[in-house]
Amino acid sequence: MSSSGIPPDGPLLTEDEAEDLLRCICFKTGPPRTVGVEVEWLVHELRDPRLPVPPRRLAAAVDSVRAVPLASALTFEPGGQLELSSPPAASLMECVDTLSADLDAVRATLGPLGLSLSGYGVDPWQTPRERVLREPRYDAMEAALDRTGPAGRAMMCDSASVQVCLDAGHQEPGPLGYHRRWRLAHLLGAVLVAAFANSAVHGGRHTGWRSARQALWTDLDPARALAPVPADGEPRAAWAAHVLDTPVMCVRADEGPWHVPRGLTFREWLRTGRPRPPTEEDLRYHMTTLFPPVRPRGHLELRMIDAQPGEDGWIVPVAVATALFDDPEAAETVYRAVKPLAEYAGCQAPPRNPLWLAAARDGLADPDLHAAALVAFPTALEALPRLGASESVQRAVAAFHERHVIPGGCPADDLRKVAS
């Protein structure tokens, strides 16, 4: 047993071994074949979503939902948000159908308990939600994030998202190459923030943002929430250096609270071996405490999309993102459309650069983002039949395009009107 009280859970690492491991595990290249989605929901009172759900009642509901057989992985976030993570699917429709069936089963369980799932980027009525998960990870996360202000607790307890997971792409250059997909994710990602912004109201107050959820990320420790900008266009090296040079959020222990160091980067931990020598599993865990808008974990996690209104609203961003990344013709078209946004973004990293800030604040009211969206959504609609999307999915994307994209709006605008 190590001096910190936690037994080694993997081989000890040198600095060179850590860099090599990061390069191998974070960008697993190959033809895009699979898609997945992680959908988070706020749990509200069915009779009146403005009323807080008492922790004991929420805990009983959690136990009931955990007993439901699901294909997707079920987890609960610190504020009681429910998350379903689909298994990797061989097609868009397999992903949609699997998660839809699981959501039906979860809603059928929550309904008789007087609870419902609500799709908002942040809770429009409650702030701050009480943290209901008392686990060493979240105790340590709260302590670390509190050092930069209240945004961390709000992110943990009050926010919800739709995270689309796509393969990293080919090793070779081209519209589906991993270099191009990485760059596309950081430009098109701002368009996705703007189009799907759905968190204008938080705790009963207008926030001044279309996506207050995205604004929360800009207020976190920048080392943890920013995306690295590759100087030479090579994401593997940039990401590996970023992971090693980011401060460690916590050092795990098998007993008692976890240590929350100040300013100890993973690289320094490797070099000093204190408070105990880090292992491969420590490095893998450290990566889960980094929250950039695009996170490589073998595949690419697109983490910038607010939770969407309605029972099936989450399907639209999944369909749009999959079409624009995985259909070669669509990927080339949309890349040309968003490439000029790089000048708007400047040299700063998302989500704090001017492009991403405009997306979160203004949505598609920003003319440059609106122009890009007017290319992106029709391009996705053209690609969806080639990906085997059902007519209902195509109709949902078309309806969203007509209702929000063409006039330069987003779901947050509807919420602002209701809350006025």
pLDDT in tens, 301-331: 999 999 999 999 999 999 999 999 999 999 9
- Identify the bridge partners of residue 43 per DSSP, sorted by sequence position: 117
245-273 residue pLDDT tens: 999 999 999 888 999 999 999 999 999 99
Q: Which residues contact 286 (CB under 8 A, 6 or more apart)?
A: 243, 246, 248, 249, 266
**What value does the mean pLDDT take over residues 211-225?**
92
pLDDT greater than 60 at residue 66: yes
Cα–Cα dist 259/160, whole Å: 28
Flag whether pLDDT at 2 surpasses 50: no
DSSP states along 351-406: TSSHHHHHHHHHGGGSHHHHHHHHHHHHHHHHHGGGGT--HHHHHHHHHHIIIIIT
List Cβ neighbours of 225 (8 Å cut-off, separation of 6 or more). 217, 218, 291, 292, 351
All structural domains of the chain, each given as residue ranges with its CATH number in brackets, are 16-410 (3.30.590.20)
Rounded Cα–Cα distance for residues 412 and 158 (Å): 16
pLDDT score at 52 = 86
**What is the model's pLDDT at position 3?**
38
Length of the chain measured in residues: 420
CB 146 within 8 A of CB 68: no
In the structure encoding, which two tokens stand for residue 286, read together? 């450290």
Q: How confident is the model at residue 348 (pLDDT cuts 50, 70, 90)?
A: confident
In whole angstroms, give the CA distance from residue 131 to residue 78. Answer: 5
What DSSP character marks residue 199?
B
| Average model confidence (pLDDT) across the chain | 93
Name the band, by pLDDT with cuts 50, 70 and 90, for residue 347: confident
- Calculate the alpha carbon distances from 166 to 31, 35, 161 in Å: 11, 5, 16
Q: Which DSSP letter does residue 207 get?
A: -
Whether pTM > 0.85 for this model: the answer is yes
Q: Which of 4-8, 99-103, 150-154 has the lowest mean pLDDT?
A: 4-8
The H or E element spanning position 301 is strand 299-306
- Mean pLDDT, rounded, for 408-419: 87
Name the helix (H) or strand (E) containing 296.
strand 294-297
Poorest-pLDDT segment among 2-11, 43-52, 160-169, 244-253 = 2-11
DSSP for 89-145 reads BSSHHHHHHHHHHHHHHHHHHHGGGTEEEE--SB-SS-SSPPP----HHHHHHHHHH
61 by Cβ neighbours in 10 Å (0-12 / 13-18 / 19+) ranks as buried
The pLDDT-based confidence of 28 (bands split at 50, 70, 90) is very high
User: How confident is the model over 110-156, as pLDDT tens digits?
Assistant: 999 999 999 999 999 987 777 888 899 999 999 999 999 999 999 99
Asked if the model's pLDDT at residue 6 lies above 70, the reply is no
d(CA 316, CA 322): 10
Q: What is the pLDDT of residue 338?
A: 98
Residue 415's pLDDT is 83
DSSP letter assigned to residue 72:
S
